[in-house]
């Protein structure tokens, strides 16, 4: 088998890149170790930056998004139950975010893939990458017990944090930067109307909480929890009680309770690997970086990564220039580190950390109070939240 670009992983980064390359008439094959139902069924992010929405529209993938996505012009912060609003649309000159679950994004990407001839090989196991530092990389894999080989010009590693792509870069080349947070998020999905028409990020003396949604009839809520806690220790009743307490009496009174149909605990970490290109291998999305979900940047960074990568590949194949692919890593990392900074900062002012003393708590309260009273501080938050521009 031969192709121009082998894409490892059919998550957001891999599938957005596949559609972009298809439109540019560049041959690509996507290898995914799982099946479609597994990939599409993973519960992930739900807030799209304006850039991600624009990319979906540009790829003619936004039919359902434009009908069902919830456009938010603002967001809310809460300090011990006292809410204040950030008017992001006003502060950023009209930019918004759209609530549209990653499961829905993946559904749209997969449905259009079949219609457009995007080549996806499902259940591709034992993937290994070879010849990445030469001119003719080879991807070997096993499908249905049969060993197969894919020859290509370039490999796009879009296979997530635990994939094979990043470890294929020599250890003397790869640099990794990580911050592991001493808590996780306990998340709950329920078919109940949201407590508010926009998100609420709550800092409470008992810990962080987030009131979010997936649709007008489906809510997504989170509370900060210890890494040693287990989902089975949290009954629905206990979760609802703790959530309402952390949101405060005003927002908590608007929470509609109901049975959950999904509940899970996700640890939080910040992670970046450098460089994002080695030889004929490019990393994109979670294969190169992880952000805590506080800033809602994970899927959005995957999109901006592959925008840069596609631009470089188009320039290579259409004009014979290496400039775009040579500058891919630096361009992508500049945006990645800004998103990491914002997600780290937003996490630091909204969560309770172990061994926080009275001074630490007062600093958090002062920071949030400063944001509440300063339009300039709100503008900085807003422009990062809706997404920094591509450069």
Let me know: does 125 contact 143? Beta carbons within 8 Å.
yes
State how far the Cα of 229 lies from the Cα of 252, in Å rounded to an integer.
Answer: 23
Give catalytic status of residue 201 as yes or no: yes
Q: Which of 297, 317, 328, 351 is catalytic?
A: 297
Give which of 286, 289, 294, 288 is closest to 342, Cα–Cα. Answer: 294
Residue with tokens 């039919």: 63
Tokens of 92: 């950023």
State how far the Cα of 126 lies from the Cα of 132, in Å rounded to an integer.
Answer: 17
Q: Which of 100, 181, 201, 316 is catalytic?
A: 201
State how far the Cα of 308 lies from the Cα of 310, in Å rounded to an integer.
Answer: 6
Give catalytic status of residue 293 as yes or no: yes
Say how far residue 91 (Cα) sits from the centre of its chain. Answer: 24
Bridging pattern class, strands 125-130 and 138-143: antiparallel
Q: Which of 19, 181, 293, 351 is catalytic?
A: 293
Q: Which of 12, 19, 72, 137 is catalytic?
A: 72
Give catalytic status of residue 297 as yes or no: yes
Q: Which of 100, 221, 316, 385 is catalytic?
A: 385
Give catalytic status of residue 230 as yes or no: no
Question: At a CB cut-off of 8 Å and minimum separation 6, what does 151 contact?
Answer: 1, 2, 3, 136, 137, 138
Q: Rg of the chain over CA atoms, in angstroms?
A: 21
Give catalytic status of residue 354 as yes or no: no
State how far the Cα of 284 lies from the Cα of 156, in Å rounded to an integer.
Answer: 7
**So which residues are the catalytic ones?**
72, 201, 293, 297, 385
């Amino acid at each position: 088998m031969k192709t121009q670009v082998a894409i490892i992983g059919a998550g957001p980064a891999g599938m957005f890149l596949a559609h972009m390359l298809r439109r540019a008439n560049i041959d690509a094959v996507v290898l995914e170790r799982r099946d479609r139902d597994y990939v599409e069924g993973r519960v992930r992010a739900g807030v799209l930056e304006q850039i991600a929405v624009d990319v979906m529209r540009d790829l003619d993938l936004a039919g359902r998004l434009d009908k069902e996505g919830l456009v938010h012009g603002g967001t809310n912060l809460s300090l011990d139950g006292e809410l204040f609003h950030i008017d992001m649309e006003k502060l950023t000159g009209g930019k918004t975010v759209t609530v549209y679950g990653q499961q829905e994004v993946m559904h749209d990407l997969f449905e259009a893939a079949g219609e457009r001839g995007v080549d996806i090989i499902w259940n591709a196991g034992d993937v290994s990458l070879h010849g990445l530092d030469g001119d003719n990389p080879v991807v070997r894999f096993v499908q249905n017990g049969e060993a197969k080989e894919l020859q290509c010009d370039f490999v796009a590693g879009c296979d997530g944090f635990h994939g094979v792509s990043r470890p294929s870069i020599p250890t003397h080349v790869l640099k990794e930067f990580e911050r592991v947070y001493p808590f996780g998020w306990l998340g709950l999905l329920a078919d109940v109307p949201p407590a508010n028409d926009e998100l609420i990020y709550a800092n409470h003396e008992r810990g962080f909480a987030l009131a979010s949604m997936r649709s007008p009839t489906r809510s997504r809520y989170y509370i900060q929890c210890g890494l040693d806690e287990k989902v089975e220790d949290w009954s629905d009743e206990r979760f609802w009680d703790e959530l309402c307490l952390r949101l405060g009496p005003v927002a908590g009174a608007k929470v509609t309770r109901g049975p959950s149909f999904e509940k899970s605990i996700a640890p939080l970490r910040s992670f970046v690997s450098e460089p994002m290109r080695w030889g004929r291998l490019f990393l994109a999305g979670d294969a190169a970086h992880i952000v805590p979900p506080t800033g809602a940047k994970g899927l959005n960074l995957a999109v901006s990564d592959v925008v840069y990568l596609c631009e470089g590949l188009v320039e290579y194949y259409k004009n014979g220039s290496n400039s775009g692919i040579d500058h891919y890593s630096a361009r992508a990392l500049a945006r990645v580190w800004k998103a990491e900074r914002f997600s780290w900062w937003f996490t630091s002012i909204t969560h309770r950390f172990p061994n926080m003393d009275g001074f630490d708590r007062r600093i958090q309260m002062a920071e949030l109070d400063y944001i509440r009273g300063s339009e300039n501080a709100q503008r900085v938050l807003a422009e990062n939240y809706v997404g920094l521009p591509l450069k």
